[in-house]
């Protein structure tokens, strides 16, 4: 085990409401586009409208769109994996010769919650088993492994909203420990009525475009999508002369052990995760160019993050990209990892969409406009139901 | 990469605690409880390995458990028992990680959440059911009640969930991210899963899981939770054994590395579709047992196999009476198995798509 070895990211893919792939999504962010609309794939009997960041059908490649054997969560994951693997310059033949693992985070993707099936069952009917068969075929990590004929370890992380970050952190460990040459790691999730109604029931959903860290923030907007990174050992990318887009320097993780849905009010867990990753990587606050915060737009989350960032990373630029993608749950950490790397490559970060008025209760606020920076290191962090906190530290390749 | 098992907590239809499990193995306990299943020809009462978590009140006051569902209660009880079983082992809770494996997560509460907005309309979904329906709810409750503030992870990979979770637990220990890991499994059975079971497999066996009658569908659904307190290899008088390897793969392209010397525990749990793969693999193996008739069929029942393996390695011949294998067969061997000379046990679980998880344990 090479404990603190930086691991190369040689490819990345992303699909979300901001764009069908990484470049399109990044362009949307810097143009300030917010593709928010009422959900189109399901209906709600609520009087109020809660807009979502939905991925348009035509963002998916045609051959994936037509498939009926797997659900949308896995289609999004496979689409992002195609982009990431192609971006890494890897062929199926090359992958077959290496030990390639898959580690993917999700929430909806592992939940047997088909509403139509359940309604018919409840009513004493004999519902068609196709949705259940599809669910059993749709474990996101397995779906990617099947698609690319990968034979290494396969793990679907279901750690609520930090799943994507945690999955990348686990992939990092698999390379460091020599279990894998390559890991396809990331997160994926689709919108559905279950999470839509669930987050509204918790009264943390905004009925207008979300406003992370703003004084008048009212909650989150849900989104969907997938982000995938190709992590690769030094030996593997040197052998094939692969291009390095970024390095992952480290991963910190902790739990609040406090509440099922609320973060610890003092951000205890987040603080420990941040300290862990910075200490283990021997990185000082002054070396960090920016933080891609979890920034959901909920009152509690944003207050905790703002306090912890002010304490541990004073003066460091930060933003939330959820104003462009919505909260994509199990995909969020992975999509934000992709954006973090893209911003490191460009040397600038976009405005924190939705933020305009400083909240006097928050010690620090995010960037209001596109901002350039000089350094090469950035953080991406996720907080989750259950109190999990995950932090990834990246360096420009 | 090796880890030591210091404590085991387990809860299933047989009761709770490692001694209850040990006794159930010795008694070759069978399924005695039932579940009512909805079918096209009306409701039917079918056998089912139901788990009781009343003993959780020994660890956590009942009033604190009001919003904790059956799925999380099973995990909480097993995790609490694992810590208790580890006795004198000193653990800094900020250095204690949690890794939970589950096949289907909190299925009953997911149904309850659907019920809440199907019954009451979209305006009144239950926030309590929603927050407890996420797969990591059990792990979250465990971290809260046990004040474990190291990293906490839940993994869902159907039949490979435990092997996959174990890989991460071992990695965390190897990289010293934590000093200890509570690795566990939780799966529950509920109305919707029973219904799906009936639709896929028809009426199931009313008598006994027959693990080695591979051509016959004899699986009976079960549920339960097993937790293991793990650390990097450490000398400890009370330790059970070491886990020395975990493999995952697919039988279509590779086979597990079977030791000629050890005992093999298979999770063959009466599923005809998986039975074919076990039959092919077991051709060369002689010392093979299955304990699934004691706890039934569910995606993470190989955690119970791992607990049985740890017991065999720790207690040797004094633990289990000979499995002379009266019909229905539990052991493939017709002779009593000499557990006392076994230094290595391997646990094999094969999934519906021929994917496998293979865990090797040996004496400390």
> pLDDT tens digits for B222-251?
999 999 999 999 877 889 999 999 999 999
Please state, in angstroms and rounded to a whole number, the distance separating the CA atoms of residues A71 and A60.
Answer: 13
CA distances (Å), origin B309, targets A98, B67, B203, B263, B289: 33, 35, 32, 9, 10
Whether A257 and A232 share a structural domain: no
**B158·A136 Cβ contact <8 A:** yes
Reading the block at residue A342, the tokens are 């893209």
Whether A186 and A276 share a structural domain: no
CATH of the domain at A12: 3.40.47.10
Which one of A45, A95, A124, A257 makes the best mutation probe of the B interface by having the most chain B beta carbons within 10 Å?
Answer: A257
Tell me what pLDDT residue B25 has: 84
Is B172 in CB contact (< 8 Å) with chain A?
A: yes
For A302-337, the three-class secondary structure string (H helix, E strand, C coil) is HHHHHHHHHHHCCCCEEECCHHHHCECHHHHHHHHH
Tell me what pLDDT residue B339 has: 65
CA distances (Å), origin A371, targets B140, B143, B282: 38, 39, 63
Is B237 in CB contact (< 8 Å) with chain A?
A: no
Exposure string for B14-45, b = 16+ CB within 10 A, e = fewer: bbbbbebbbebbeebbbbeeebebbbeeeeee
Helix extents (H) in chain B: 18-27, 70-85, 107-120, 127-133, 137-146, 161-174, 191-201, 272-281, 292-295, 302-315
Whether A36 and A173 share a structural domain: yes
Tell me what pLDDT residue B31 has: 63
Count of structural domains, chain A:
2
Question: Nearest-CA neighbor of A225 among A373, A332, A124?
Answer: A332
Is A262 in CB contact (< 8 Å) with chain B?
A: no
Whether A374 and A293 share a structural domain: yes
Judge whether A272 lies within some domain: yes
A-chain CB neighbours of B75 within 8 Å are: none
Q: Which of A197, A219, A239 is the last residue of a domain?
A: A239
Please state, in angstroms and rounded to a whole number, the distance separating the CA atoms of residues B189 and B165.
Answer: 21
- Nearest by CB to residue B110, choosing from A112, A129, A201, is A112
pLDDT digits (tens, 9 = 90+) for A340-362: 999 999 999 999 999 999 999 99
- Which domain covers residue A290, as residue numbers? 251-396
CA angle B99, B100, B103 (to 5 degrees): 145
B217 backbone φψ class: left, alpha, beta (φ>0; ψ -120 to 50): beta
Terminal CA-CA length for chain B = 14
A-chain CB neighbours of B352 within 8 Å are: 136
Reported in sequence order, the residue ranges of A171-241 that DSSP labels E, i.e. its strands, are: 182-189, 225-232
Which residues contact residue A66 at a Cβ distance below 8 angstroms, ignoring those fewer than 6 apart? none
Please state, in angstroms and rounded to a whole number, the distance separating the CA atoms of residues A267 and A263.
Answer: 7
Is B248 in CB contact (< 8 Å) with chain A?
A: yes
Tell me what pLDDT residue B358 has: 97
Predicted confidence (pLDDT) at residue B322 exceeds the cutoff of 50 = no
Whether A288 and A368 share a structural domain: yes
Share of chain B above pLDDT 90, in %: 63
Is A50 in CB contact (< 8 Å) with chain B?
A: no
Whether A52 and A136 share a structural domain: yes
Please state, in angstroms and rounded to a whole number, the distance separating the CA atoms of residues A329 and A390.
Answer: 13
Judge whether A245 lies within some domain: no
Question: Nearest-CA neighbor of B295 among B278, B270, B327?
Answer: B270
Helix extents (H) in chain A: 22-31, 62-65, 72-87, 92-96, 115-122, 130-137, 140-147, 163-176, 193-201, 234-239, 268-280, 299-312, 322-325, 332-346
pLDDT band at B328 (very low <50, low <70, confident <90, very high): very low
**A115·B111 Cβ contact <8 A:** no
Judge whether A246 lies within some domain: no
Q: Which of A239, A263, A284 is the last residue of a domain?
A: A239
Whether A230 and A301 share a structural domain: no
Cα A68 to chain center, whole Å?
25
CA distance A336 to chain B (A): 20
Task: List the beta bridge partners of residue A64.
Answer: none
Q: Which of A217, A239, A261 is the last residue of a domain?
A: A239
Q: Rounded mean pLDDT of chain B?
A: 88
CA distances (Å), origin B312, targets A107, A169, B244, B293, B345: 37, 35, 16, 17, 8
- Ranges of residues in chain A whose predicted pLDDT is under 50: none
Chain B residues 259-298 with CB within 8 Å of chain A: none
Whether A226 and A105 share a structural domain: yes
Whether A156 and A296 share a structural domain: no
Judge whether A1 lies within some domain: no
Q: What phi and psi values does residue B250 have, to the nearest 5 degrees?
A: -135, 130
Tell me what pLDDT residue B24 has: 87
**B117·A197 Cβ contact <8 A:** yes
For B5-30, the three-class secondary structure string (H helix, E strand, C coil) is EEEEEEEECCEECHHHHHHHHHHCCC
Chain A residues 279-338 with CB within 8 Å of chain B: none
Predicted confidence (pLDDT) at residue B97 exceeds the cutoff of 50 = yes
Q: What is the mean pLDDT of residues B39-48?
A: 77
Is B51 in CB contact (< 8 Å) with chain A?
A: no
Whether A348 and A377 share a structural domain: yes
pLDDT band at B306 (very low <50, low <70, confident <90, very high): very high
Q: Find the closest chain A residue to B107 by CA distance.
A: A112
- Nearest by CB to residue A260, choosing from B131, B152, B158, is B131
**A25-39, B32-46, B173-187: which range is least confident on average?**
B32-46
Is A121 in CB contact (< 8 Å) with chain B?
A: yes
Chain B residues 78-97 with CB within 8 Å of chain A: 93-94
pLDDT band at B262 (very low <50, low <70, confident <90, very high): confident
CA distance B262 to chain A (A): 25
Whether A20 and A138 share a structural domain: yes
Please state, in angstroms and rounded to a whole number, the distance separating the CA atoms of residues A14 and A21.
Answer: 5
Share of chain B above pLDDT 70, in %: 89
Predicted confidence (pLDDT) at residue B5 exceeds the cutoff of 60 = yes
Whether A324 and A177 share a structural domain: no
Decide: A17 and A53 in contact? Cβ < 8 Å.
yes
Tell me what pLDDT residue B215 has: 87
- Nearest by CB to residue B174, choosing from A170, A177, A257, is A177
Chain B residues 5-44 with CB within 8 Å of chain A: 38, 40
Please state, in angstroms and rounded to a whole number, the distance separating the CA atoms of residues B157 and B144.
Answer: 24
pLDDT digits (tens, 9 = 90+) for B118-149: 988 888 899 999 999 999 999 999 999 999 99
Q: How would you class A129 by CB atoms within 10 Å of its CB: exposed for 0-12, middle for 13-18, buried for 19 or more?
A: middle
Reading the block at residue B187, the tokens are 């799966």
Which one of A46, A255, A269, A384 makes the best mutation probe of the B interface by having the most chain B beta carbons within 10 Å?
Answer: A255
CA distance B57 to chain A (A): 20
**B192·A156 Cβ contact <8 A:** no
Reading the block at residue B226, the tokens are 């097993």
At residue A16, the 3 state secondary structure works out as: strand
Judge whether A357 lies within some domain: yes
pLDDT digits (tens, 9 = 90+) for B332-358: 455 555 666 789 999 999 998 899 999
Q: Find the closest chain B residue to A162 by CA distance.
A: B153
B-chain CB neighbours of A259 within 8 Å are: 144
């Amino acid at each position: 085990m090479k404990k603190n070895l930086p691991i190369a990211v040689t490819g990345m893919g992303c699909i979300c409401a901001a764009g069908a792939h990484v470049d399109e999504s990044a362009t949307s962010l810097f143009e300030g586009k917010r593709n928010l609309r009422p959900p189109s794939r399901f209906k709600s009997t609520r009087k109020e409208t809660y807009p979502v960041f939905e991925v348009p059908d035509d963002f998916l490649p045609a051959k994936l769109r037509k498939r009926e054997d797997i659900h949308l969560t896995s289609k999004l994951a496979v689409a992002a994996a195609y982009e990431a693997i192609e971006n890494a310059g890897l062929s199926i033949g090359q992958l077959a010769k290496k030990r390639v693992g898959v580690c993917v985070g999700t929430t909806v993707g592992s939940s047997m919650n088909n509403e139509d099936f359940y309604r018919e069952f409840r009513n004493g009917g004999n519902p068609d088993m196709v949705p259940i068969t599809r669910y059993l075929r749709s474990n996101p990590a397995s779906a990617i492994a099947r698609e690319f004929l990968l034979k290494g370890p396969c793990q679907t992380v279901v750690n609520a909203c930090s799943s994507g970050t945690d999955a990348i952190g686990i992939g990092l460990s698999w390379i460091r420990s020599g279990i894998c040459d390559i890991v396809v790691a990331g997160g994926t999730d689709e919108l559905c009525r279950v999470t839509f109604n669930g987050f509204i029931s918790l009264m943390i959903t905004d009925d207008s475009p979300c406003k992370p860290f703003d004084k008048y923030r009212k909650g989150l907007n849900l989104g969907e999508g997938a982000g995938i990174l190709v992590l690769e050992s030094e030996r593997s990318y040197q052998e094939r002369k692969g291009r390095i887009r970024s390095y992952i320097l480290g991963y910190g993780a902790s739990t609040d052990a406090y509440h099922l849905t609320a973060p610890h009010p003092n951000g205890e867990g987040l603080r420990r995760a941040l300290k862990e990753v910075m200490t283990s990587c021997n990185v000082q606050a002054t070396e960090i160019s920016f933080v891609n915060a979890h920034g959901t737009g909920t009152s509690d989350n944003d207050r905790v993050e703002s306090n912890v960032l002010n304490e541990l990373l004073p003066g460091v630029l930060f933003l939330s990209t959820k104003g462009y993608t919505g909260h994509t749950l199990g995909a969020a950490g992975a999509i934000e990892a992709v954006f973090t790397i893209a911003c490191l490559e460009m040397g600038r970060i976009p405005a924190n969409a939705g933020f305009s008025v400083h909240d006097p209760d928050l010690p620090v606020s995010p960037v209001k406009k596109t901002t350039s920076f000089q350094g090469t290191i950035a953080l991406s962090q996720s907080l989750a139901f259950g109190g999990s906190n995950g932090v990834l530290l990246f360096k420009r390749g | 990469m090796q880890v030591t098992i210091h404590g085991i907590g387990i809860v299933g239809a047989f009761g709770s605690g490692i001694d209850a499990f040990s006794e159930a193995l010795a008694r070759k306990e069978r399924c005695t409880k039932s579940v009512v299943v909805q079918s096209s020809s009306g409701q039917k009462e079918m056998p089912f390995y139901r788990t009781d978590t009343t003993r959780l009140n020994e660890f956590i006051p009942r009033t604190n458990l009001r919003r904790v569902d059956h799925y999380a209660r099973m995990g909480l009880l097993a995790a609490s028992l694992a810590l208790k079983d580890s006795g004198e082992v000193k653990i800094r809770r900020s250095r204690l990680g949690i890794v939970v494996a589950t096949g289907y997560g909190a299925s009953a509460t997911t149904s309850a959440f659907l019920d809440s907005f199907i019954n009451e309309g979209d305006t009144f979904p239950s926030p309590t059911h929603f927050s407890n329906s996420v797969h990591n709810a059990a792990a979250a409750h465990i971290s809260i009640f046990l004040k474990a503030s190291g990293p906490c992870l839940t993994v869902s990979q159907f039949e490979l969930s435990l092997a996959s979770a174990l890989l991460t637990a071992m990695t965390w220990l190897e990289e010293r991210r934590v000093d200890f890991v509570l690795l566990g499994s939780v799966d529950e059975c509920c109305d919707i899963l029973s219904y799906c079971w009936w639709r896929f497999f028809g009426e199931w066996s009313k008598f006994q899981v027959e693990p080695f009658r591979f051509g016959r569908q004899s699986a009976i659904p079960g549920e339960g939770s097993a937790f293991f307190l793990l650390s990097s290899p450490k000398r400890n008088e009370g330790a059970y054994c070491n886990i020395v390897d975990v493999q995952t793969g697919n039988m279509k392209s590779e086979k597990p590395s079977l030791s000629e010397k050890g005992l093999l525990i298979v999770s063959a749990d009466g599923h005809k579709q998986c039975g074919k793969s076990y039959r092919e693999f077991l051709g060369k193996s002689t010392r093979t047992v299955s304990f699934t008739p004691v706890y039934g069929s569910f995606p993470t029942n190989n955690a119970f196999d791992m607990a049985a393996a740890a017991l065999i390695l720790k207690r040797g011949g004094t633990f289990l009476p000979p499995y002379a294998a009266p019909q229905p067969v539990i052991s493939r061997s017709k002779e009593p198995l000499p557990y006392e000379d076994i230094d290595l046990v391997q646990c094999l679980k094969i999934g519906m798509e021929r994917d496998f998880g293979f865990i090797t344990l040996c004496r400390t």
